[in-house]
Structure 1
């Protein structure tokens, strides 16, 4: 009989290629362990009032929370996820919090973490913060988007352009888009399917109006600016990156894509330590992490930011380790479900 799990914080609703890849690979890894998904709670979902999800939790053997970039600076959306440990529908089933950033959260959250059977951080800084708070061993398994290993060798023919991406910061996104618009051989590549995120948690019909607006906005922007490259699928987004000699981005997941596609990058820091922490864990240093002010100067040098031999070796070794650690993590998750009960590991 298969193990059944519910999956919380399903980030696919934002149509962000990093999140789409993360969720696809989490589900692939769960299926590889004989775990089927009985229910999903989307990002920002009011799961406590979602009867279908609660019913699925009641029929399941395991609760898996995809932490991703949610757990920082005391976000209420993160606290809402942690509260699953106290919900009656959980009924003592083991909870696994995986793939999580953890930064600058209230000390009071320890009471929730103590009830979670397995916690896995996606970077060493987050693991250290959880360990200092709870006193428990916290394994580091880098972001799930990296768990399928290297897709393409760095460099190679056909990389003939600079791609400039976006950011969670609207101000930085505008700056990046202006750079792409006014620089030769440079194109703007959003990591979303559109220029603005949908709001799947908004009530109908406001959600439908938002959908119509973001698609009309993207169509108008594309008609006015031929240097915007929209991607309909993860595969199209990757294909664009494989043509780039450099990708400039303010997005954590775009950096992840650059690692496994062998695409040189420059990154402008985000709303947490996630990019810097990823670079530290891969041993890449900070030379590719720039401020918005430094970015124009670096690009003025012609975008000659190819990976060094040492960087290539570190990236390839890091990706191999990601694959191994993800395999071990999901084996442990399956073990939790087989053992059953409110068991704390670490």
Structure 2
């Protein structure tokens, strides 16, 4: 039996290692469970403008919607993903919403979950919110964790003699500037979860992504600081996912405002403290992994960084983290096995 899957919200177009890891996991796990034919609907594309979308979708055994961090605070992009469930339901095509974060959404969005045949959230907080719909929602940790494991990485305890600090940016450019200041004060290394397309155009586009033309051009001091920071991130970026994870594994501490930098750091056992992103997804991840709350609730300054570099992981944290990562692998593989059974049950 030939199985075919349409993967909606292919986030690889964002040129982001977390997105690449998630998509790599989805494709590899579907293939290992007997899927022969794949089609992809890129992130940011609007299926509602495709005149033949219903006919196109009807050819597949499963429409898999990769939610990632899209469905929060009633965003139009989140609504667009959820509305696909109604189309698949009307056509009798199986559908799955996977790897979802969920925060700040209205009941109208919650009601759309009923159209999916399978639903998974990537953290317990999101699952609890989604279960208010009355639907069954599994908790399966973010798929980037499985991808790192499939690349051969394991959570090794850091050598305390290594004092190498890595610092990422944040989706909020003001928080990014704060993190950049900390990096400079503590002689840290810039870590870029994103990477540019090749050539001058790719570099300029990468630098431009972190700047608001409407707001920042009226503040020359901030504009210069942002340009310097984005250029430094560009210089530190790389396209290869395996090499990026290796880079993260070499730090004695990662200070991060990026969710997927956190998932990949945890996958290799790199100690971490975090600044919130655009939702509570980092706090939810750390809670599920059994990490101490000060890693995501404390005020981050230079003194805090030095204390954390000395503390590394506690024994309890490391044991919880190891168990979480092992469970993530099992739950992820079980989920894709069940999705294959769902397709074959038509």
| TM-score, length-scaled by structure 2 | 0.85
User: Are 2:193 and 1:191 equivalent residues in the alignment?
Assistant: yes
What is the CA–CA distance in structure 1 between the aligned matches of 2:66 and 2:208, rounded to whole Å?
Answer: 31
Taking the TM superposition and a 5 Å limit, the aligned residue runs for 1:101-116 are: 101-116=101-116
* Cα distance, 1:16 vs structure 2: 0.9
User: Are 2:306 and 1:306 equivalent residues in the alignment?
Assistant: no
What is the CA–CA distance in structure 2 between the aligned matches of 1:175 and 1:222, rounded to whole Å?
Answer: 11
Q: Give yes or no for contact 1:120–1:140 (8 Å, CA) kept in 2.
A: yes
User: Are 2:205 and 1:214 equivalent residues in the alignment?
Assistant: yes
After superposition, the C-alpha distances for 1:279-311 in whole angstroms (9 at most, x for unaligned) are 1111213121145x4333312547324112211
Q: 1:226 to 1:233 in 2, by over 3 A?
A: closer
What is the CA–CA distance in structure 2 between the aligned matches of 1:289 and 1:54, rounded to whole Å?
Answer: 44
Q: Give yes or no for contact 1:96–1:116 (8 Å, CA) kept in 2.
A: yes
Alignment match, 1:47: 47
* Cα distance, 1:124 vs structure 2: 0.8
* Cα distance, 1:229 vs structure 2: 2.2
Q: 1:182 to 1:31 in 2, by over 3 A?
A: same
Q: 1:115 to 1:302 in 2, by over 3 A?
A: closer
Alignment match, 1:318: 324
Alignment match, 2:130: 130
Alignment match, 2:141: 142
Q: Give yes or no for contact 1:5–1:57 (8 Å, CA) kept in 2.
A: no
* Cα distance, 1:159 vs structure 2: 3.8
Alignment match, 1:203: none
Q: Give yes or no for contact 1:160–1:245 (8 Å, CA) kept in 2.
A: yes
Alignment match, 1:201: none
Query: Secondary structure, in 3 states, of the residue corresponding to 1:156?
Result: coil
Q: Give yes or no for contact 1:181–1:188 (8 Å, CA) kept in 2.
A: no
Alignment match, 1:239: 246
User: Are 2:182 and 1:179 equivalent residues in the alignment?
Assistant: yes
Q: Give yes or no for contact 1:58–1:89 (8 Å, CA) kept in 2.
A: no
Q: Which stretch shows the higher mean deviation, 110-119 or 299-308?
A: 299-308
Corresponding residue to 1:260 among 258, 262, 267: 267
| TM-score, length-scaled by structure 1 | 0.85
What is the CA–CA distance in structure 2 between the aligned matches of 1:89 and 1:210, rounded to whole Å?
Answer: 42
What is the CA–CA distance in structure 1 between the aligned matches of 2:2 and 2:101, rounded to whole Å?
Answer: 30
Compare relative contact order (CA 8 Å, sep 6+) and give the higher one, 1 or 2: 1
* Cα distance, 1:58 vs structure 2: 2.8
Query: Secondary structure, in 3 states, of the residue corresponding to 1:248?
Result: strand
Q: Give yes or no for contact 1:22–1:144 (8 Å, CA) kept in 2.
A: yes
Alignment match, 1:154: 157
Q: Which stretch shows the higher mean deviation, 79-88 or 272-281?
A: 79-88
* Cα distance, 1:335 vs structure 2: 1.5
Query: Secondary structure, in 3 states, of the residue corresponding to 2:58?
Result: helix
